[in-house]
Chain A
């Protein structure tokens, strides 16, 4: 069995730099808490060059380097970095083990046909982690502990050929096995400095003197795993969060921060072969308030620009009531579905682009004024309906009404008089002769009735409060226009419903 270990040194620092890539060249330290007495967990190479070491307090570190940037890393940031590492592993093999704190193991069984060599495979893994903003080291060996030691020892990519684990491990310092301080001091006293020296010790004698911890250490020194690889399916958890230094009450800086989160999320989704569906935003507001909202993504996409525009439009329509201090984004993964295009049908708008356009149109006009017109299921003449424009999903290949389209192609075109609706129907003055309209004066038009057809009585909805009873007429006025007018049967008032055009 061949295994690869993805190992991220100084994991808290890596998690921080993944969220704040602009700090990569700066002197940065990660503290375990806030306040001057908090201990440093990890320091960047730039900080180390200035003399800052781990385990110092923040105050001590600041005394050494006043320009040091000290940050804390939230559990959400660590979790997201670990999830990103596992996403990289899962992009190579479904059999992976998430060991936490910047370590993941991958079963390399069956990957030989995809890569020329294990070295090439390990290099590809390392490159993919860099794409997600994590600098991971990769080790390949026949056991978990050997792969882990190889990754820690290498500083980049290391491949231990099959059967040569022992020769690789012999000169490795025993400190890489991370023994407890007491055990490390004992081994130091005994003069045990390398893994080879430790592995040569008789395990029963070590157990008598050092207890179970010593036995475990010797077994690991011999390249024996404590437990075998335990592959588990990865949860579909695509979540990124960030704590802001100060409350943001302006849209542009907020979107700037959000862009980074979406970049990371879409990169992870892309690695797993998913598209970004609906976005759930959880905003922590100044004054301990929270704002939870869902941004609907009609056409799943990994286009950050489009996703950002959808969030922008929603925030413009419904802004947060206070400054935003922290942000968490959860993306719902959607399977990538290939759209089967029709040879004889033209391509429509790109679904992602159309979804953004619909959102922008909705922001300008209102939700009830953008969509697909529908003929209302009602006898009321002015009834109409609008529903969401489903061409987005249709173009995405979710449902294709081929039968309808094919049938429609053979219907001939026609010119028929169309009604231009006047919404709502406008009140008009009608002068009648023998109970028939003779002269009409309405908003923007007036004239003597030249021709008239009607009346015909329409009544309905008598079973509810919207009951109506009307006498309809089609009238042509002396100005040339043909109008549809009606008279309410109850109050005898006249209205114009539209113009034939």
Chain B
């Protein structure tokens, strides 16, 4: 019955020279726009970038590359002239690292709240101000306890209103069902420059979409987080060369 009705309505629209799809009961779900972070592998994994107007999560243990990924988002967005914010609960942001990631620091608002509760309040205030393209909420390794139940829904509502991409960086998922996508970073190996004087060069990590409301979870990709090998200012993007990493080949989503 519903199908025939919608079919008839679609025919009617076509007669009126207004062809289109007809939905009964509710409008078609509107897919969020994406904010690319400039790392091809991650943008492909996320289906175009981090969702705008939604809360996303980026989790992982220390030295897994989650901070590098979050800074890459802030860097790419700020370079486009958009204003971004970093709510740094852990007080861990290293401005030199951010500058090295290519961020335009003039477009970055850095907020260091004294407590998790204040951090969420600050994030909400920034979202309510509007105009911020991306907000990274860095919770650090310590999970915020005793948050009220309505905290994350309020944050989600504010993000929807401001069309801001909110990325929560934490050791473990914290936003629950309010997060539209959850990316887990797992360290694979550490890269060292061997020789007479060994140097830390970076690490390889696997980024996995643990949970997603926009697509199939479980997709993953390999990322190389490396220092500048050339030193000429041109940076390599994360490379997930399948041939070199057969162990993750089957799971990489292109």
Which residues on A are within 8 Å of B, measured CB to CB? 342, 345-350, 353-354, 356-358, 360-361, 364-366, 369-376, 384-386, 389-391, 394-395, 401, 404-405, 408-409, 411-423, 444-445, 451-453, 474, 476, 479-482, 498-501
Contact = CB atoms under 8 A, between A and B. Distances in A.
> Nearest 6 CB-CB pairs, A to B?
A413-B38, A414-B235, A349-B131, A501-B67, A373-B95, A474-B200
A412 B235 contact: yes
B80 to A, nearest CB: 6
Contacts of A356: 129
B106 interface: yes
Nearest to B38: A413
28 contacts: A346-B82, A348-B131, A354-B131, A357-B129, A358-B109, A365-B112, A375-B95, A375-B99, A375-B105, A405-B104, A409-B79, A409-B80, A411-B102, A413-B38, A414-B235, A415-B224, A416-B97, A416-B227, A417-B200, A417-B227, A418-B68, A420-B67, A421-B92, A452-B198, A474-B200, A481-B63, A500-B203, A501-B64
Contact of A499 (B37, B62, B199): B62
B168 interface: no
B92 A365 contact: no
A162 to B, nearest CB: 55
Interface in B201-233: 202-203, 223-228
A355 to B, nearest CB: 9
A413 B110 contact: no
A391 B106 contact: yes
B63 A415 contact: no
A108 B79 CA distance: 53
Contacts of B60: 501
A409 B104 CA distance: 10
B141 A394 contact: no
Contact of A481 (B39, B62, B128): B62
A349 B129 CA distance: 6
Contacts of A364: 113-114, 118, 121-122, 125
B93 A373 contact: yes
B100 to A, nearest CB: 6
Contact of B83 (A348, A361, A366): A348
Contacts of A358: 109
Contact of A373 (B39, B66, B98, B235): B98
B252 interface: no
A413 B75 contact: yes
Q: Is the interface of B mostly helix, strand, loop or mixed?
A: mixed
B71 interface: yes
Given A361-B111, A373-B98, A421-B91, A349 B132 contact: yes
B150 to A, nearest CB: 19
Given A365-B111, A375-B95, A453-B197, 20 more contacts: A356-B129, A357-B128, A361-B122, A365-B118, A366-B114, A374-B105, A376-B95, A385-B95, A394-B106, A412-B235, A413-B37, A417-B225, A420-B90, A421-B93, A421-B94, A444-B141, A451-B190, A480-B187, A482-B63, A499-B62
Contacts of A372: 105-106, 108-110
Query: Which of B61, B92, B104, B118 has most chain A Cβ within 10 Å?
Result: B92
A275 to B, nearest CB: 19
Contacts of B187: 480
B95 A412 contact: no
Interface of B: 37-39, 60-69, 71-72, 75-76, 79-83, 90-102, 104-114, 118, 121-122, 125-126, 128-133, 141, 187, 190, 192, 197-200, 202-203, 223-228, 234-238
B96 A369 contact: no
A414 B102 contact: yes
Nearest to B41: A415
Query: Which of A350, A358, A411, A451 has most chain B Cβ within 10 Å?
Result: A411
A373 B92 contact: no
Contacts of B234: 412
A419 B95 CA distance: 9
Contacts of A371: 109-110
Contacts of A401: 106
A417 B202 contact: yes
A93 B64 CA distance: 68
Nearest to B169: A501
A418 B110 contact: no
B244 to A, nearest CB: 16
Given A350-B131, A422-B92, A501-B67, A413 B83 contact: no
A417 B83 contact: no
Nearest to A365: B113
B192 A453 contact: yes
Query: Which of A354, A361, A369, A389 has most chain B Cβ within 10 Å?
Result: A361
A408 B104 contact: yes
A423 B94 CA distance: 10
Contacts of A498: 92, 94
Contact of A389 (B37, B66, B109, B202): B109
A408 B82 CA distance: 12
A253 B69 CA distance: 49
Contacts of A416: 68, 97, 100-101, 202, 225-228, 235
Given A413-B76, A416-B101, A405 B225 contact: no
Contacts of B72: 413-415
Contacts of B104: 404-405, 408
A418 B90 CA distance: 14
B132 A365 contact: no
A346 to B, nearest CB: 5
B81 A342 contact: yes
Contacts of A480: 61-63, 187
A405 B226 contact: no
A474 B199 CA distance: 8
B118 A500 contact: no
Query: Which of A346, A411, A416 has most chain B Cβ within 10 Å?
Result: A416
A414 B40 CA distance: 10
A394 B81 CA distance: 11
